[in-house]
Amino acid sequence: MKKFQVLSMKAELLLKAFKNILYSRLLEKKMTAMQRHGQIGTYAGCAGQEALYTGLGLAMKPEDCYVPYYRDQPALMLRGYQPIDFMR
């Protein structure tokens, strides 16, 4: 049977990741509702991909170059973007 390596993470980092995933989901719900009511234009959500982009954002160093795609809100929030930045 194949053995798997267990990676350890500090509780502080896990909490930061969890908060970012949760915040991303809340932003997703709000932005989708705003789009359906005509308050914003096209919005490509990231539902189901929050953990992937949170991991990407946490793994990057501040000096790393990042060219965002249209579903990268969780990674961008870890780099300092605010919800209003996605509404412009």
Q: What is the mean pLDDT of residues 58-81?
A: 91
Identity of residue 19? K
List pLDDT tens digits, range 27-62: 999 999 999 999 988 888 888 899 999 999 999 998
In a domain, 2, yes or no: no
Identity of residue 61? K
In a domain, 36, yes or no: yes
Identity of residue 86? F
Greatest pairwise CA separation for the chain in angstroms: 54
User: How many independent structural domains does the chain possess?
Assistant: 1
In a domain, 50, yes or no: yes
Q: Which domain holds residue 33?
A: 11-86
Task: Please write down the long-range contacts of 24-27, taking CB distance under 8 Å and 24 or more positions apart.
Answer: 24/50, 24/53, 24/54, 24/73, 24/74, 24/77, 25/50, 27/73, 27/77, 27/83, 27/86
